[in-house]
Amino acid sequence: MTIDYLDGKTWAEISREERFFCLVLYTHIEKNPSEFVGFLVEKGVALEPDQEWQVGYEACFYRDVLKQKGRDVSATPYSNKRTFDLALFGTEQIVVIEAKAQQGFKTTQTSTFAQDRKDIREVLECDIPVAVVALASSTYFENERKYGKAGVLKIFDGLISWKDLHQLYKDPVFEHADQVYRN
């Protein structure tokens, strides 16, 4: 259904919000988490696919895990607001996915992801492997490979694009998400 006051488009065709795109991705992953984990493995992320996986959307990890453990997050060094765009919780591994649509990653943000690897294990009180994956426009990744000066993407264990997701799920929302960076 198109909407006249949106110039004959749907909301999915005009949205530029990464949270919207991540929600759509969440619905796909939730149907078959193993398929998505297999896709990540094909993209070079070191995962053990033969485990059970759950997916989290806008996962407020530190707040929720500490609350479950009976601890007050405000009495810890962890942020009550720190949220992962998507997270995959395996029985033996965790994957954090940080998504961008209109922009790219900044060096200041990437240091936070390195700290998250350490903090997640500390909060869980175990040495579970944590992979951090960047999700952004294929054009952004191409530009970073050609012109990137600081190696901002080196912190990530894997890179996936919205274009890759369009190829996997055939969902036009991901094709649109990949093009938002250019506009």
Q: Does 56 fall in a domain?
A: yes
Q: Which residues contact 173 (CB under 8 A, 6 or more apart)?
A: 12, 20, 21, 24
Residue with token string 């998507």: 86
Does residue 183 register a pLDDT over 60?
A: no
Q: Does 4 fall in a domain?
A: no
- 134-147 tens-digit pLDDT: 999 999 999 998 88
- 48-90 tens-digit pLDDT: 989 999 999 999 999 999 999 999 988 999 998 999 999 999 9
Rounded mean pLDDT, 89-116: 93
Q: Cα separation of 58 and 53, whole Å?
A: 16
By CB neighbour count within 10 A (0-12 exposed, 13-18 middle, 19+ buried), where does 136 fall? buried
78 close to 66: Cβ distance less than 8 angstroms: yes
CA dihedral sign of residues 49, 50, 51, 57:
positive
List the domain range (segments joined by +) for residue 43: 16-180
Mean pLDDT, rounded, of the chain: 93
Q: How much is the pLDDT for 58? A: 97
Q: pLDDT category, 19, cuts 50, 70, 90?
A: very high
Q: How many domains does the chain have?
A: 1
Q: Cα separation of 108 and 24, whole Å?
A: 27
Q: Does 2 fall in a domain?
A: no
Q: How much is the pLDDT for 75? A: 92
Rounded mean pLDDT, 31-52: 96
Q: Does 161 fall in a domain?
A: yes
